[in-house]
Structure 1
Amino acid sequence: MSLVGRVGRKRPRARVAMAGLYLILTLGAITTIYPFLLMISTGLKGPTDQNDTRLVPTYLQKDAELLDKYVDDKYAGDKSLIASTRQGGSPAEVEKYDAFLKTLPIDFWEVGFRIAPGQVTSRLTDLYRTWLRSRYENIDALNRAYVEENVAFQTVVPPSEMFARKVWRPTPGRKYEEWRSFKAGLPTTFRIPITERLLFQKWAMGKYQNQFGEVPLDVKGTATRFEELQVPASGPVLDEFRKQEPDRFRSDAGEAKWAAFGGIGPMPVAPHEAAYVAAHASELRNEFAGRNYRYVLDYILINGRAVANTVLFCVLAILTQLTVNPLAAYALSRYPVRQSGAILIFLLATMAFPAEVAMIPAFLLLKDLGLLNTFAALVLPSAASGYMIFLLKGFFDSLPQELFEAGSLDGAKESTMMFRIALPLSRPVLGYLALVAFMGAYGAFIYAFLVAQDQRIWTLMVWIYQLQNNAPKSVMMAALTLAALPTLIVFLLAQRVIMRGIVLPGER
């Protein structure tokens, strides 16, 4: 029955009130939807734009933003390295520079797209792990070959190279040998030539402790920061640098090889990158947009028991709560006692306290019973719910008593009347309570982590909680988005059940 009749709705006051009500509901919907959309959007971003609150990432719309994101990704967020490579170069030399990179010896260029500080994945690691999967049947075969203990291919990282050091020797073994084979096959966009100018800038930063004002004037020249320094032609600073410079780069670094190749002027690094981004804009946008979500899916696959544990936990929670609570509610409804009112007040009182209040007592009790690190510890404390018992009792009370009287006359037992009369008529409410049980079990992570610290029975939410210790904001938003999908799908598919479970008891 409507609160306002058809005639009353035509009055100006009623129309204004209804318009205000719809406005409030619309604003409420927006405030609910916007954070979720922002969470999805942040999952599409990376270290350079994860704090941007715009719903549509700018790199999906603007080519300039895409280029900046690509450059930051290539140089792993190293601002000094990025600035050092922005030294000009003619766009007409791009094709020649691309051919030059293909001929550059493997020890004279570094690999780009490594994992940036604070990040957990990169374009290089994804490509490297895919390459390893094509060579090894499983992770055990790779571990035997590399003498490592990787849990999965997703945990294998490329070996580091430190060509800028005076003396550096790679760790001998099959891993580095195969890494060189992989490195040799990388496209030119991954190749960052090692230049004497860059080596000098890095050395100067260390020598003068990033204090540009300490650099001698004859070394500064017209430079205003370390990234603009040029290698001096002579002097004590150059002599000191030569002592620390790797021998192979002393007269044969990137600049010398570029000149010998026939290059004119500085290497056109920036024009080469701009040309690549322009030619592969769609591919790069897709790669950036899906990177965090792919990493989270790989993370879930590594911890594959998390999905199975979560499904089992949810199923057990639903079954136990739909067994214990209807039995208790039916008993209170069919066999009222003098203390029924006090019992209902006690049940309602349990709803006045947050669940966190009972966590420590439940933990101590489960510890005394020896049930920690078991599914029983996850399921049993939530088997009985004061809210569910109260709701079901009210629904059972509203059922026509004539049905039970007819059942008694036909000789039906109480259990028969419960399972053949009461529960079938209560399916809308039971469906609603099953959804409540599912959402409670699926979203639990503090309690699940407290009573089950054994990783073998960790649920999905506990693993995602652990992920935040290492993952940046953008990856966490991607993880939370994927974690929210099951609840969202269940809610969308079960809207009718939810509404019937809420409305039907009131109508009766």
Structure 2
Amino acid sequence: MISLIGRRQWKSRLLIWSIYIVLSAGVVTMVYPFLLMLGGSTKTSLDAAEVTVMPRYLVNETALYRKYLEGFFNERSEAMQNAYGLWDATFLKVSLPGESSPLIADWQSFVADREKSENVAWFVLAYLQCPVSKNAVPFNLSKLRTELLRENGSIEAVNLKYQTSFPNVSAFYVVPANFLNRFVTSAATPFAQRVEEFSLAQPVMWRAYVDLSNFFRSYLRGEYGASIAALNGALGTSFGSWSDVPLEATRAEMPPALHKDYEAFVRNVLNPVFLQVDSGRALEFRSYLKAKYRGDIAAFNERRGTAVTSFEEVVFPTTRPRQSIEKTDWDGFLEGWTDDATGSRYQLPIEGIRLTGPDFAFREYLGQRYGSLARMNEMLGTAHSTWGVVAMPQQAAQFVDFQKMQGWLKWYFTTRNYIDVWNYLVVNGRGFFNTLIFCALSILAALTVDPIAAYALSRFKPRSTYKVLLFLMMTMAFPAMVTQIPMFLLLRELGMLNTFWALILPGLANGYHIFLLKGFFDSLPRELYESAAIDGASEPTIFFNITMALSKPILAVIALGAFTHAYAAFMFALLICQDPKMWTLMVWLFQLQQTSGQGIVYAALIVAAIPTLLVFVFCQNIIMRGIVVPVEK
């Protein structure tokens, strides 16, 4: 358009550069959104709102630490607040820890000694649940799922053995027991027991221990307000901060000003799994049961399914029972029960209750190691006023672990959404397999039926050729949605729903493809057919060895079109194949998007785009031929 001499003029150069700028802007407007989606595919609920091409956790340690904590505490910020004593903190606001704790070495030794014998109520396993980043599968959940499938062979066998009802492997999930909730009890089902066994078998570095001292302080904050000054004013204490408020194993060790709150907390808030009751209170417990059941031992036996002859034979459990009826009676004795007939009140004396938990066990370990609190303060340079304020250095110890595995964490956070999508679509679902079969059959049908029909119209030229072509082209005038309901009813009557036949037969012949092929076949030299006929070639020989052999460019275009149509099929595939075992890739993606977070959705779209991207890269000449051939004909 512009000659070489003309290009030397400044106006021509300005025009050329303007064209380049416009084209570059077009490239940016196409590539930049894709890069945003690529970056978003590695994110979770924590950083999904960040509109960045490069995820911040790859270049910023604080952002990486926040993502680490989000997964470590199973996306429950209240669990982090309890473990670290970070009141009102969220994963988005938490900062890197400041000074290290002198108790880290003692803590690491303590948890290592208890690795296989820990009480599962004392900790929650990290990376076991993603309630906010929906459909994400953290690595410990994936590990548990893999173990169960390897042990039992299928999800149906898992359901049968552990009394669960997971509809498929992708629906497998675990809700970690939160024993800070008073009403949560120890494992009462086979599946819960298996989860507990799995949790105990994992490394201690993935355990988030509950902190009863912080839980007590949280209770006080709810009663007196967030300010420590409000607590001091109400109780006449002089605590400098919330971390100075102690929680001792017994009420006798607590400051007198906190006795009332301590008892209310123990009786009505704290989960009884953290209580150890004095066995010497058996007589009081039996008196309580005798009053509650009106002295009717038969009614007691009937309700509990026992066969004791008197209430004096009833065993007093020093820990909360698992059975519902025994547990109800035990809780009533702990909280207090009033006999309406006599007005007498029966209640476990607070002096008979002792708290147990990871913080108390750690303090006991320190006491055995150092002999006394004063000696520990001297050796470690600390200034604890009482054992009740000695905190577990969880945050400091876990930050040390975090620093050692930053490289692995970056790789894990970058790839986990893609791994989840791959497992969902390929390993645990049949989306890719069904789509592969569908595409292969569609291509085979397009390269068989359409060429035969076009060959007949081109080779033998029947009188009704024009009418046939017009009829074939008229099928393109109606939207596909118009024919879906009649097609569904027809396939249902034929009993073909949820089969590959239902996917293939409605598109077995394509009017546009036949029209395109007929035009191409018409352009082939007629002399070739005449020579072949003279040499005695049969019609099938002429069709395959001459017509098809010389039509590879247009056949490639037809195959590409058949692949694209089959790969992108969604509405019709969903309508006629409602059985999940027959869902194609696009149907699986639709179902995944309905229940997943943004990162999973983006990763799924990118994974689904890879086959079409590869086709575009390696079949550009065919695509261009598909643009040129219709114009030529």
Same fold (TM over 0.5): yes
Contact 2:438 2:566 in 1 (8 A): yes
- The one-letter amino acid of 1:111's match is L
What is the alpha-carbon distance in structure 1 between the residues aligned to residue 510 and residue 14 of structure 2? Answer: 41
What is the alpha-carbon distance in structure 1 between the residues aligned to residue 557 and residue 212 of structure 2? Answer: 69
Q: Secondary structure at the match of 1:192?
A: strand
Which range moves more in the overlay, 26-35 or 112-121? 26-35
What is the alpha-carbon distance in structure 1 between the residues aligned to residue 12 and residue 519 of structure 2? Answer: 33
Contact 2:36 2:52 in 1 (8 A): yes
More helix by share: 1
What is the alpha-carbon distance in structure 1 between the residues aligned to residue 478 and residue 2 of structure 2? Answer: 39
What is the alpha-carbon distance in structure 2 between the residues aligned to residue 330 and residue 19 of structure 1? Answer: 50
Who is 1:241 aligned against?
265
Q: Secondary structure at the match of 2:355?
A: coil
TM-aligned CA distance change 1:48 to 1:322, over 3 Å: same
Contact 2:149 2:158 in 1 (8 A): no
User: How far has the Cα of 1:26 moved from its partner?
Assistant: 4.2
Contact 2:184 2:271 in 1 (8 A): no
Q: 1:56 aligns with which of 47, 54, 57?
A: 54
Provide the alpha-carbon RMSD of the alignment.
4.0
TM-aligned CA distance change 1:457 to 1:100, over 3 Å: same
Who is 2:574 aligned against?
449
Who is 1:383 aligned against?
508
Who is 2:422 aligned against?
297
> Deviation per CA, 1:347-374, whole angstroms, max 9, x where unpaired?
5554455433432333233334443322
- The one-letter amino acid of 1:246's match is N
Which range moves more in the overlay, 282-291 or 262-271? 262-271
User: How far has the Cα of 1:431 moved from its partner?
Assistant: 0.8
| TM-score normalised per structure 2 | 0.68
> Deviation per CA, 1:53-104, whole angstroms, max 9, x where unpaired?
3222111121111101001111122223323415577433333332233346
Q: How many residues align?
A: 500
User: How far has the Cα of 1:234 moved from its partner?
Assistant: 2.0
| TM-score normalised per structure 1 | 0.82
Q: Secondary structure at the match of 1:91?
A: coil
TM-aligned CA distance change 1:18 to 1:404, over 3 Å: farther
Who is 2:306 aligned against?
none
What is the alpha-carbon distance in structure 2 between the residues aligned to residue 154 and residue 456 of structure 1? Answer: 13
Q: 1:124 aligns with which of 134, 140, 147?
A: 140
Contact 2:426 2:433 in 1 (8 A): no
Give 1:80-91 correspondences, 5 Å limit: 80-84=78-82, 85-87=84-86, 90-91=100-101
User: How far has the Cα of 1:340 moved from its partner?
Assistant: 5.6
User: How far has the Cα of 1:31 moved from its partner?
Assistant: 3.7
Q: 2:543 aligns with which of 418, 424, 433?
A: 418
Contact 2:164 2:191 in 1 (8 A): no
- The one-letter amino acid of 2:61's match is D
TM-aligned CA distance change 1:270 to 1:170, over 3 Å: closer
Contact 1:101 1:191 in 2 (8 A): no
Q: Secondary structure at the match of 2:562?
A: helix
What is the alpha-carbon distance in structure 2 between the residues aligned to residue 145 and residue 363 of structure 1? Answer: 39
What is the alpha-carbon distance in structure 1 between the residues aligned to residue 246 and residue 601 of structure 2? Answer: 42
Contact 1:307 1:460 in 2 (8 A): yes
Contact 2:170 2:428 in 1 (8 A): no
TM-aligned CA distance change 1:448 to 1:95, over 3 Å: same
Which range moves more in the overlay, 366-375 or 128-137? 128-137
What is the alpha-carbon distance in structure 2 between the residues aligned to residue 503 and residue 234 of structure 1? Answer: 87
User: How far has the Cα of 1:251 moved from its partner?
Assistant: 3.4
Q: Secondary structure at the match of 1:234?
A: helix
User: How far has the Cα of 1:434 moved from its partner?
Assistant: 0.4
User: Gapped runs of 5+ residues in structure 1?
Assistant: none
User: How far has the Cα of 1:125 moved from its partner?
Assistant: 0.8
Percent of aligned pairs with the same residue?
A: 33
What is the alpha-carbon distance in structure 2 between the residues aligned to residue 370 and residue 410 of structure 1? Answer: 48
Contact 1:452 1:458 in 2 (8 A): yes
- The one-letter amino acid of 2:271's match is P
Q: Secondary structure at the match of 1:399?
A: coil
User: Gapped runs of 5+ residues in structure 2?
Assistant: 87-96, 248-254, 276-353, 367-375, 377-381, 383-389
Contact 1:98 1:188 in 2 (8 A): no
Contact 1:152 1:302 in 2 (8 A): no
Q: 1:169 aligns with which of 179, 185, 190?
A: 185
What is the alpha-carbon distance in structure 1 between the residues aligned to residue 3 and residue 444 of structure 2? Answer: 45
Over alpha carbons, which structure has the higher Rg?
2
